[in-house]
Chain A
Amino acid sequence: MSQIAFWGAVELGLVYAFVAIGVFLAFRVLDFPDLTVDGSFPLGAAVAAVLIIAGVNPWIASGVAMIAGAAAGIVTAILNVRFRILNLLASILTMIALFSVNLRVMGKPNVALINADTMLSPFYGLGLRDFYVRPLFVGLLVLLAVIAVWRFLESDAGLAMRATGANARMARAQGVDTSRQIYLGMAMSNALVALGGALFAQTNGFADVTSGVGTIVVGLAAVIIGETLLGARGILIALIGCVLGSILYRIAIQLALSTDMLGLQASDLNLVTAALVTVALVLPRLRRGGAA
């Protein structure tokens, strides 16, 4: 693997770290299996790309993308909380709907951002090579997100959200409005995922309506790899695990694809992903079985 390919994998891993943290919030904190992310990731990319092309400041464009993602999460939460639709199904409905929404937002299946000013543009001319600038910039944002989510989850408000996912009946007895926590958590989760999408569009130079396929699997893979490596030792470790898992996952994929011996090509990506996630899911169980 070349240096450029390696740093490219790290960069993509950092972009998807936002997805991993979002998935962690939904799956692990709220215990809400949320497939909305397959729609909110390209939604973030689409909103950011279209706004940037229209001349909007890329930071504002990315902020709007986050709001759009949050709205998508709230739609899923409403379907689940208000209309009592099974959480998984509610998120699939939103995901499917978002495919059309994303096409409407972009007006076409693919939007190029090649010559537009992105959040990264000011940093390209500073002397560092582009393939270092991108992971450095995204990594800094990931760091901020990790700190923010960590501080939140260890605050009184965050504790209420964690209790909602862990024991909703107990949470209500403690005065926690569990419905509101689901709205809030789903909004936060999908806002982070949409930010990932917005950064994906800006680092790769395009937004594509199909780029959301399998987002949930990638996010889940990162969460599980992180848990397998670092174990369950508190919120901060879990969040670092999400980031680490996401990066390692991309490097593993890159290795698998760049090794001629395996004879894999880019179109095999989804198969490789599914295989990797399966291994990550089965490994801890095998290890436990071996110890017992």
Chain B
Amino acid sequence: MIKLDNIQVIFGKGTPLQKQALNGVSLTIEEGTFVTVIGSNGAGKSTVLGVLAGDVIPTAGQVTIGSTDVTRKGTAARAGLVARVFQDPLAGSCGALSIEENLALAARRGESRGLTPALGPKRREHFRERIAELNLGLENRMRDRMDLLSGGQRQAVSLVMATLAGSEVLLLDEHTAALDPGMAEFIMNLTQKIVSERKLTALMVTHSMRQALDFGHRTIMLHAGEVVLDVSGDSRKTLQVEDLIAMFRRIRGQTLDDDALLIG
């Protein structure tokens, strides 16, 4: 279970550039729930993800992942609880390391790292099997450097990397945004498959309302650092993109002038 309790995040506190990024966000996500998060630029989507990942330490409030209070823990200290796929395909893996080395690195996420060879025959075989499941032919390129792969291939490998070690939550930060439409669809279907097969608790930030409604069990909309919409179950099943926009207008009582929300 993931719990955000009255999270406040203020960037640049006490400076002229002070910005309230999150204003009292409270959120409880049950185990095995796949939540999609939408909102316009600057709404606080990435900040929510950052707070969960440990990149952003909240000004006030409490963050609980699983049964651990991680509010003050940095990214590395809570990595055992949090798996992640970044928006930028280059960010989630090491270009200078081989595919199998990246997998070996991810397989020990959140665990101690000793002097055992990172790539023994057993581990190699296991990684090969996991990569073969992608059906991208990458299992024959395990020793290739990661930076020889396309953006889509890198995201696919990143998804596998995220599931090699156990985690309490999988964070997906617009992980299809940098890909071409065909590859984006492939990665989204792969995400769906991995999340449901492994019954993962996942949080996916997306710019696409279509994606937000088509995938997952629950959709949250953020605006100006607050949760303005939270739908799940039957009411979500019948929801259309147009309804979302209308709902958004009603809740905020203002017209929508941000194109980003209308796309998709």
Contacts and interface: CB of A to CB of B under 8 A. Distances in A.
A156 B109 contact: no
Interface in B53-104: 53, 74-77, 79-80, 82, 84, 86, 91-97, 101, 104
A159 B97 contact: yes
Interface in A142-173: 151-152, 154-160, 162-163, 166-167, 169-173
Given A154-B118, A172-B76, A162 B84 contact: no
Contacts of B74: 172
B118 A159 contact: yes
A166 B97 contact: yes
Given A174-B79, A178-B76, A159 B91 contact: no
Interface in B97-127: 97, 101, 104-106, 108-111, 113-119
A162 B94 contact: yes
Contacts of B79: 172-176
B94 A167 contact: yes
A159 B105 contact: yes
B94 A163 contact: yes
Interface string A95-120: 00000000000000000000000000
A169 B94 CA distance: 10
A223 to B, nearest CB: 15
A166 B80 CA distance: 21
Contact of B91 (A155, A156, A160, A170): A170
A157 B105 CA distance: 9
A156 B103 CA distance: 11
Given A156-B108, A174-B105, A174-B106, A163 B97 contact: yes
A4 B106 CA distance: 52
B144 to A, nearest CB: 12
A155 B117 contact: yes
Main secondary structure of the interface of B (DSSP, over half): loop
A177 interface: yes
B167 to A, nearest CB: 11
B115 A166 contact: no
Instruction: Please indicate which of the listed interface residues A152, A158, A173 has the most CB atoms of chain B within 10 Å of its own CB.
Output: A173
A156 B118 contact: yes
Contacts of B118: 154-156, 158-159
A192 to B, nearest CB: 17
B82 to A, nearest CB: 8
Interface in A246-279: none
A152 to B, nearest CB: 7
A157 B92 contact: no
A154 B117 contact: yes
Interface string A172-199: 1111111000000000000000000000
Interface of B: 53, 74-77, 79-80, 82, 84, 86, 91-97, 101, 104-106, 108-111, 113-119
Given A155-B118, A166-B95, 11 more contacts: A151-B115, A154-B117, A162-B94, A162-B96, A166-B94, A166-B97, A170-B92, A173-B75, A174-B108, A175-B108, A175-B109
9 contacts: A155-B114, A156-B104, A156-B116, A159-B97, A159-B104, A160-B105, A175-B76, A176-B79, A178-B76
Q: Top 8 closest A-B pairs, CB basis?
A: A175-B79, A156-B113, A166-B94, A175-B110, A166-B96, A172-B75, A155-B115, A157-B113
